Amino acid sequence: MGYLIDNLQYANWSEKIFRQMREGGVDGVHVTITYHESFREMVLQLEAWNRWFEQFPDLIMRATTADDVATARATGRTAIFFGFQNPSPIEDDIGLIGIVHQLGVRFMQLTYNNQSLLASGCYEVDDTGLTRFGAQAVAEMNRVGLVVDMSHSGDRSTLEAIDASSRPIAITHANPSWWHAARRNFGDDVIKPLVARGGMVGFSVYPHHLKCGSDCTIESFCQMIADAASRYGAQHLGIGTDLCQDQPDSVVDWMRVGRWSKAMDYGEGSADASGFPAMPSWFGDNRDFGNIRTGLAAVGMSDSEVDGIMGDNWHRFYGENFSPANS
């Protein structure tokens, strides 16, 4: 059986969750360590993870390369990769891109819903595309091996990032808009050029991204993946659950608002959708990936396609994109 990799989680980390990762046979997880944090605040998150690595060395390990996934599996642990959902930790300093890569960060979103110094978010009325800083940041990210993630970006910004990047980019956690027309989901006009350049899409189980929300069926989700494989090629697809397990509802305020607004930004939900939505019945934690694997087989996907989507495709992508260019 291939690797099992979830390329996006933002859980309220605990020994319970780390043990569930092991019970679920999860070989690697890309974890969000920042939303709106400054560089110094980001370092505090790294400190917290260092303590968890010390406390639970039999469950999790710090990971920076594709080979670390194999090491984690061989030693019965889960490889933890770091990522940002906003470029705020690099502040206005392009030199910090190299520094955060040296600190172990492997993914960085250019925006989180709003306009950033680099690009426009998907909730801006006017998507003005990559800024001058953004174009140079993409080039520097390509050079050092920090993957460009456009999961919360506008379509124009995403297309310009695809064109500007000399290496494949990722949408780590979103779904096709032809299946569910959420503002955070993407259409063929974005996904096709992304995969044409070797990019990856991670499918999300966060209810606001799902057809029928919390009531989405496993059959609908897996048929969507099979349909996406027909459109884009199964080798470009993976899982990025966006699992926010055990987070208090107050965390949504930080995710959506940060420090920029005095009013609640309800973001992806309806006007009164405060707090986290209920997860679909078939995916509540890291022990439930088997439901997705079984569901993909049930809609007719081959064993090799299923292995790819469940983790082998992300593993290949890690191997090709985490190291400095020409290294």
Assign residue 55 the CATH number of its domain.
Answer: 3.20.20.140
Of the candidates 145, 187, 142, the residue with the CA atom closest to the CA atom of residue 163 = 142
Q: Does the residue 327 lie in any domain?
A: no
Answer yes or no: pTM beyond 0.75: yes
CA geometry: angle 270, 219, 266, nearest 5 deg: 10
Q: Does the residue 194 lie in any domain?
A: yes
| 176 beta partners | 186
Residue with tokens 């595309």: 129
Q: In total, how many domains does the chain have?
A: 1
Give the start-end residues of each E strand in 58-126: 60-62, 78-84, 105-109
> What average pLDDT does the chain have?
96
| Residue ranges, the chain, pLDDT below 70 | 266-274, 327
Which pair of structure tokens corresponds to residue 310?
A: 């469940």
Which pair of structure tokens corresponds to residue 71?
A: 């090491």
The Cα–Cα gap between 323 and 27 comes to 20
What does the pLDDT read at residue 119? 98
Q: Does the residue 183 lie in any domain?
A: yes
Domain carrying residue 141? 5-321
| 153 beta partners | 121
Q: Which residues contact 290 (CB under 8 A, 6 or more apart)?
A: 24
Q: Does the residue 301 lie in any domain?
A: yes
Give the dihedral sign, CA 58/11/158/115: negative
Contact (Cβ atoms closer than 8 angstroms) between residue 31 and residue 83: yes
Q: Does the residue 167 lie in any domain?
A: yes
Q: Does the residue 326 lie in any domain?
A: no
What does the pLDDT read at residue 269? 53
The Cα–Cα gap between 99 and 325 comes to 16
Q: Does the residue 197 lie in any domain?
A: yes
Which tens digit of pLDDT belongs to each residue from 152-195? 999 999 999 999 999 999 999 999 999 999 999 999 999 999 99
Q: Does the residue 57 lie in any domain?
A: yes
Q: Which residues contact 5 (CB under 8 A, 6 or more apart)?
A: 26, 27, 28, 29, 30, 69, 238, 239, 310, 311, 314, 315
Q: What is the DSSP string of 261-304?
A: -SS---TTS-TT--SPPPPPTT-SSGGGHHHHHHHHHHTT--HH
The Cα–Cα gap between 194 and 170 comes to 8
The Cα–Cα gap between 176 and 174 comes to 7
Residue 2 to residues 77, 111, 217, 227, Cα–Cα distance (Å): 15, 32, 25, 22
What does the pLDDT read at residue 271? 45
Q: Which residues contact 20 (CB under 8 A, 6 or more apart)?
A: 285, 286, 287
Residue count (the chain): 327
What does the pLDDT read at residue 270? 47
